[in-house]
Structure 1
Amino acid sequence: MSSCSRTRTKAPRSARGHRNGRFSSSSATIVAEIDDILIQILSLLPIKTLLRSKRVSKRWFSLITNPDFSNRVIKSNHPLPVSGFFLHLPRAIMYSFVSLDGDDDAINQRISSSLPLWFTDHSTDMIIMQSTNGLLLCRCACASSNQFKTNYYVYNPTTKQYTLLPPVTTGYITLSLAFDPSTSPHYKVFCFRTRSMTSFSFSIEVYSSNEGHWKRLVLVPSSPSPFVEYKDTVFWNGAVYCYGPGTIDCISFDFSQEETKILPLPNLDHEDGEPLPDPGTLRYLDESGGYLYFVEVNDQGSSDLPVYEMERNSSSWSLKYIVDLEPLAAAFPEMIRTEYYTNRRIYAFSVIGFVKEVTDAEPYIVLHIPNKAVKYNFINKTFKKLCNFKPLVNDAPEEAFYRFQKTFQFIESLANV
């Protein structure tokens, strides 16, 4: 027998440690190093892939669901791209979903069936109030001891996690969600409370996810526009902005400074004594890619749709884009309607949302026209159909369908609630 055949190869020290039921320090170091490499690789994957990867093994599930990992992924990729929009359907507490993903061949799969929004252990349908960086602020009317009360939730539709907020005293209130994952993994909820619908004074309370309770911060002596309800909210540039269908300005609250400011809306130079904007006016205010956008249409007969923009480091509006509706109407003649009391030609549409990415992708607006959603590129002025709506909302009244409809951004996120 050769000397080679008589030689016995020793097992590595780490392997001998495993066989003896021990786990050596060198093995622990190797595992930790492997985890570090794995975390670096996983952090580069898209959110959808990460969610599927949780099923690979218990170890992968533990790494991906770790709050430190999710915060790292969110912060390194902020702002995350808009993946789609939730649309609140008329006449029901139900939502359809329009996806912005996919290619032209998937055009018919871009919209989901209309479904109510509800949690697995909660039978009452939820109403979306606001969307901010992947989280939704929701409310529902819940029956308890033969009484109805309103509960408020913060919900992550990507991970299906949600948190019930502490009770809020009933009254004339507006709630707004503030979440900036680039600065903190924690979110805040702003409560704007007026004493009555005709009150000139209001107070502000804030809920912090890391503290878990409401805190009263400031009493503001007067509101800029009495008799007007500030019911719509947007979070942008570290502050929440409240406005309403007939307001000529926004009330903003800066969380870091804990102060309120008044931000006039663009192109609304109303003199004292003049009527406020018609509540039926088409208006849209929202944030995308670090910019704040505003649209107001008072004349549906005009083919020009002006879009105003405010940059993050600015405090004034500028007319940034003008959407020409005429080429759209030529491609989609169902947009042209006749106003029943004047017989003049009008354009039937509303705004679904704005999309501005931090990449080189060009910004665009998504419009809701009869039975369709279309994407209009601001830079090259091209457009294309995203999906059809007819199977979902063909029974909706025309004035409700083509007027402004509540829509909410969907951003895939691993944020913890």
Structure 2
Amino acid sequence: MVRLLKTPKMNHGGNSTTMEDLDDYMLTQILLRLPNCETVLVCSAVNKRWCSLISDPNFQVHFADHKNKTTAFLNDVPQWSLIATIKIVVATMKSWEQPFITEFLFGSPKLSLEFLPGNSIKTMATFKDLVLCSSKTTDQSGRRVYYITNPLTKQWVALPPRPYQWPRIQSTALICQPPYNHTQDYKFRVVEVLDPHMDTFDLFVYCSEIGEWKEIKLRVPSEEFRQLDTTVVCNGIIYFKSGLSLVGLDPFDVDDTCDTTLEARVMPPLPNFGHLQESSGQILVVHTPGRQQGIPCLYKKDGSAIELEMVVSKLDPNQVPLVWETTFQGQCKGTWNSIELPYITKLGYIYATNIWVQPYNDKLIYIYLAHENQLVLCNTGTGGITPSKSLPHNKKLIFHSLEQQWWPTLVPSLVQRVTLEQNMHVATTTVEV
């Protein structure tokens, strides 16, 4: 494609015409048909005219719309990646340091977070193609600064630090409100979930409209919520799981006028003790029956033959009435002749520590076997299990999904914007792709 664009002349009925002879409309139509946003961004460096057309926000909207229309019948979706955050503890003369290493898996080998400032960068959450990271401040407070970044464009923005150092954090979420893919001035929330009490969760929420953190109590059914198991974001709502109980919260209900205590949305109980996930705008629970509730459990029959019992159920939050539907119940099987699986219990079980569902296809389920350093793919459509990727030996890997968009999402604008030199609390920078 690039070679074609550099061709100086094209013959049309004996007339000699260059690309620059085309009007803006025709040139835009050609650029809209490029295969992906990476190619478009490369073409923006051809000359000022091309850069001006591509930089127009309307072009970005038309590019995404064109891709959605022309690729729907091909079942084509943007690339996605898993981000594995590895915690490494290093003993020093004075203290224990805890650096974090982030590795991008699947289809995104060129992405990294090395352009972010600070040290000990940790991936906290993702939303589509945006990543929420944190790093320690340079002062003595021990607080961490949050960064919202797009690894593809290398744009990043730093949020104001927390007002004070908080207790142990259970989970973190990033939620952006449409049209986040068309503008930089969209609303967003960063939600921190602390240890639950008898009938409430303590939440700290960063509200983009006011540029401040707010402390909120979320009231939940006390007889059902013993502790927080998992949180997941689906269609702009953050859901909290405890055992078989599930509640939700619209984080945009948190603003400068809301009460300090909010009521959670009570959802239908989960059908089993599974792992909560989101895929294609629906909530999924993946259950792998075993000796321990909710923990995936492979069984090695003989040689390298592997079996996995699995039950997958899903819930459409927009459906009325809200009903869990079982989409798969059975076994996934595989034979690994080239992979040694040394960690086998006396009963022949291989335990797994993480599970993740492909964001565009709920039939593709990835499971991490910590003791075997292996990420495996279970396809509930075919019933097969295949090895996917070998990972560093670490039982405490944390996975996040990165969903590339047809056009990269811009990092959000903040209420107050100052330079990094003026204040480490808020900063924005961009590096060309």
Match of 2:36 in 1: 46
Q: Deviation of residue 310 (structure 1)?
A: 1.7
Q: Which of 1 and 2 has greater Rg? A: 1
Matches within 5 A, 1:18-417: 34-44=23-33, 45-74=35-64, 81-91=78-88, 92-99=99-106, 101=107, 112=109, 117-120=113-116, 122-144=117-139, 146-170=140-164, 171-172=166-167, 175-179=172-176, 181=178, 185=182, 186-192=186-192, 198=197, 200-202=199-201, 206-207=205-206, 209=208, 211=209, 213-214=211-212, 220-222=218-220, 224=222, 228-229=227-228, 232-243=230-241, 247-255=243-251, 260-263=264-267, 266-268=270-272, 284-297=275-288, 298-299=290-291, 300=297, 303-314=308-319, 315-322=322-329, 324-325=331-332, 327-328=333-334, 334-335=340-341, 337-339=343-345, 343-355=346-358, 357=360, 363-369=363-369, 370-389=372-391, 393-394=392-393, 396=394, 400=395, 405-413=397-405, 414-417=408-411
- Give the counterpart letter for 1:415 in structure 2: T
Residues 1:48 and 1:184: Cα distance change in structure 2 (over 3 Å): closer
Q: Deviations over 1:83-107 (max 9, x none)?
A: 22111225351122221x4xxxxxx
Q: Deviations over 1:29-78 (max 9, x none)?
A: xx998334433433343123223333333333344344443345446657
Q: Deviation of residue 217 (structure 1)?
A: 9.5
Residues 1:311 and 1:200: Cα distance change in structure 2 (over 3 Å): closer
Bigger shift: 221-230 or 158-167? 221-230
Local SS of the residue matching 2:132 = strand
Q: Deviations over 1:207-245 (max 9, x none)?
A: 455x36137597544564666346x532212312234xx
- Give the counterpart letter for 1:150 in structure 2: R
**Distance in structure 2 (CA, Å) of the matches to 1:323 and 1:43:** 44
Q: Deviation of residue 164 (structure 1)?
A: 1.1
Q: Deviation of residue 265 (structure 1)?
A: 5.3
Q: Deviation of residue 119 (structure 1)?
A: 2.9
**Distance in structure 2 (CA, Å) of the matches to 1:67 and 1:32:** 24
Query: Structure 2: which 5+ runs fail to align?
Result: 1-19, 69-75, 89-98, 255-262, 292-296, 300-307, 412-433
**Which is helix-richer, 1 or 2?**
1
- Give the counterpart letter for 1:346 in structure 2: Y
**Identity between Structure 1 and Structure 2 (%):** 19
Residues 1:379 and 1:36: Cα distance change in structure 2 (over 3 Å): same
- Give the counterpart letter for 1:161 in structure 2: Q
Contact 1:71–1:415 (8 Å) recurs in 2: no
Bigger shift: 124-133 or 366-375? 366-375
TM-score under structure 1 normalisation?
Answer: 0.67
- Give the counterpart letter for 1:85 in structure 2: L
**Distance in structure 2 (CA, Å) of the matches to 1:380 and 1:116:** 33
Contact 1:133–1:180 (8 Å) recurs in 2: no
Q: Deviations over 1:308-338 (max 9, x none)?
A: 222342333222224624x225657644743
Q: Deviation of residue 81 (structure 1)?
A: 3.1
**Distance in structure 2 (CA, Å) of the matches to 1:32 and 1:222:** 65
Q: Deviation of residue 415 (structure 1)?
A: 0.8
TM-score under structure 2 normalisation?
Answer: 0.65
**Distance in structure 2 (CA, Å) of the matches to 1:38 and 1:217:** 51
Local SS of the residue matching 1:240 = strand
**Distance in structure 2 (CA, Å) of the matches to 1:119 and 1:323:** 45
Bigger shift: 155-164 or 299-308? 299-308
Contact 1:74–1:181 (8 Å) recurs in 2: no
Local SS of the residue matching 1:177 = strand
- Give the counterpart letter for 2:28 in structure 1: I
Local SS of the residue matching 2:60 = helix
Local SS of the residue matching 1:56 = coil
Work out the number of aligned pairs and report it: 340
Residues 1:222 and 1:119: Cα distance change in structure 2 (over 3 Å): same
Match of 2:294 in 1: none
Q: Deviation of residue 306 (structure 1)?
A: 2.0
Q: Deviation of residue 159 (structure 1)?
A: 0.9
**Distance in structure 2 (CA, Å) of the matches to 1:118 and 1:265:** 42
Q: Deviation of residue 157 (structure 1)?
A: 1.2
**Distance in structure 2 (CA, Å) of the matches to 1:156 and 1:128:** 12
Contact 2:143–2:161 (8 Å) recurs in 1: no
Residues 1:249 and 1:53: Cα distance change in structure 2 (over 3 Å): farther
